[in-house]
Amino acid sequence: MDITLSVIKADVGGYVGHSSSHPDVIQKAKESLERAKEQGLLIDYYVTACGDDLQLIMTHQQGEDSEQIHKLAWDTFVGCTDVAKRLKLHGAGQDLLSDAFSGTIKGLGPGVAEMQFTERTAETIVIFMADKTASGAWNLPLYKIFADPFNTIGLVIASNMHSGFTFEVHDVLKSKKITFNAPEETYDLLIFLGSPSRYALKAVYHKESGEIAASSSTQRLALIAGRYVGKDDPVCIVRSQGKFPAVGEILEPFASPNIVKGWMRGSHHGPLIPVSFREARAIRFDGPPRAIAAGFQLANGKLIGAADLFDDPSFDLARQQALAMADFLRRMGPFEPHRLPLEEMEYTTMPEVSKKLASRFQNI
Ligand code: F6R
Ligand code: MG
Ligand code: MG
């Protein structure tokens, strides 16, 4: 059975501030997707939130980039924005950068990760969702999952994974894409993946079969809007088990937290903390950035789940380490490298301050 899994997300208003989502907004989204399910457009759906981002997880048979599915997501976000405005939530409609829908939701603000595949006898899926960080945040974990044998032992000892994976990397500034094979081209691949604000890992494919293994959202809000409106807060779908990494191999990179861009005013480096659904609220210094992992089995397109995969004491040490990293970074206050370098800051008073002080600068 051919299934398309679409994960489309947007920040349509925060409660309180930019920390979390209001239950009425989530309820409104559920009602909208329930109607679409009754009408037969969706096979199934799951609505959740990560911080102030509303996540629409949908299964259907319309294929990727379906106008009907994208319009459903857009109309749902518009309906939820009305609820957010009524409650005077903060930043109501923040990520909806257009007045109207036009054929695709891409380029209008929301983040999109989609994949179409033939559902296996047992189709295990992990969906990562993040808040207070930028597209490209999945580069490091996806590399570890699909190319690092110290993370994924299946690359070494499982014959159906031993030939490796193919990585599709997007240059988000120039709108170009390139693919690399791992393990053969890992050094070339890493030059690009190591600069996640410019090069985002869009998709991963099983090399031998060409089957889709992972798909992430790479939309950059600031590039679309031409100014700071909020963080991308990306999502990522990963297929698991069999010829794909096991659930435990997919979650393993989060046991040693890495540092990402985002956090307060989208202008700081901070640790990406793996948290349970309940803890997906960005509070301290509007963060630190966090990620949740929702696990599903698919049954003829029906979403069996979600299992809250980071709700596990084996990630407690990672959370403690991430908090220690957060503390070290916070000590630097407005100094780099806690604060992002000027050219990467999406939120800065520098042009205004420079203009005001221009006449006081003298040649050296
Ligand atoms: C970061 C984020 C917050 C806001 C900050 C100021 O992605 O959303 O850190 O940037 O709370 O928000 P405004 O300008 O809406 O008052
Ligand atoms: Mg927000
Ligand atoms: Mg957010």
Report the separation in Å between the CA atom of 228 and the middle of ligand 3, taken as the mean of its atom positions: 13
Indicate if ligand 1 lies below 6 Å from the C-beta of 286: yes
* Average of per-residue pLDDT across 275-284: 98
pLDDT of residue 112: 98
Amino acid type, 209: S
Backbone angles phi, psi at 275, to 5 degrees: -135, 165
* Average of per-residue pLDDT across 255-267: 95
Cα–Cα separations (whole angstroms), residue 192 to 86, 172, 198, 227: 44, 12, 8, 25
C-alpha span between 97 and 314 (Å, rounded): 40
Enter the tokens of residue 206: 């099983």
Backbone angles phi, psi at 45, to 5 degrees: -155, 160
Q: How many residues are there in the chain?
A: 364
How many other CB atoms are found less than 10 A from the CB of residue 273? 27
* Average of per-residue pLDDT across 235-263: 97
pLDDT of residue 332: 98
Q: Which residues pair with 293 in a beta bridge?
A: 128
How many other CB atoms are found less than 10 A from the CB of residue 186? 16
Indicate if ligand 1 lies below 6 Å from the C-beta of 264: yes
Indicate if ligand 1 lies below 6 Å from the C-beta of 230: yes
- With 0-12 / 13-18 / 19 or more C-beta atoms within 10 angstroms meaning exposed / middle / buried, residue 97 is middle
pLDDT of residue 277: 98
* Average of per-residue pLDDT across 220-232: 82
How many other CB atoms are found less than 10 A from the CB of residue 159? 8
pLDDT of residue 227: 76
pLDDT of residue 23: 98
pLDDT of residue 348: 67
Q: Is 213 in contact with 204 (CB distance < 8 Å)? A: yes
Nearest CA residue ID for atom 5, ligand 1: 265
Question: In 159-287, which ranges are E strands?
Answer: 165-171, 176-182, 199-206, 212-216, 235-240, 259-262, 268-271, 273-274
Nearest CA residue ID for atom 15, ligand 1: 91
Ligand nearest to the CA of 130: 3
Residues in CB range of 116: below 8 A, 6 or more apart:
2, 3, 4, 5, 63, 64, 212
Residue 231 catalytic? yes
Backbone angles phi, psi at 59, to 5 degrees: -115, 145
C-alpha span between 289 and 130 (Å, rounded): 7
144-159, pLDDT tens digit by residue? 999 999 999 999 999 9
* Average of per-residue pLDDT across 129-153: 97
Give Cα 25 distance to the centre of its chain.
Answer: 20
What is the pairing mode between strands 273-274 and 290-299?
parallel
* Average of per-residue pLDDT across 58-65: 98
Q: Which of 264, 269, 285, 339 to mutate to test the pocket of ligand 1 (most atoms within 8 A of CB)?
A: 264
Give Cα 148 distance to the centre of its chain.
Answer: 21
Nearest CA residue ID for atom 1, ligand 1: 265
Output the average pLDDT for the chain. Answer: 96
pLDDT at 225 > cutoff 90? no
Amino acid type, 99: D
pLDDT tier at 161, thresholds 50, 70, 90: very high
Could you list which residues have their CB under 5 Å from ion ligand 3?
11, 51-53, 131, 233
- Atom of ligand 1 minimally distant from the CA of 286: 9
pLDDT of residue 346: 62
Q: Is 195 in contact with 156 (CB distance < 8 Å)? A: no
Amino acid type, 114: E
C-alpha span between 76 and 37 (Å, rounded): 13
Cα–Cα separations (whole angstroms), residue 271 to 191, 331, 357: 22, 14, 35
71-125, pLDDT tens digit by residue? 999 999 999 999 999 999 999 999 999 999 999 999 999 999 999 999 999 999 9
297-355, pLDDT tens digit by residue? 999 999 999 999 999 999 999 999 999 999 999 999 999 999 998 877 766 677 778 88
Indicate if ligand 1 lies below 6 Å from the C-beta of 18: yes
Ligand nearest to the CA of 286: 1
pLDDT of residue 145: 98
pLDDT at 222 > cutoff 90? no
Enter the tokens of residue 127: 């969906």
Nearest CA residue ID for atom 10, ligand 1: 265
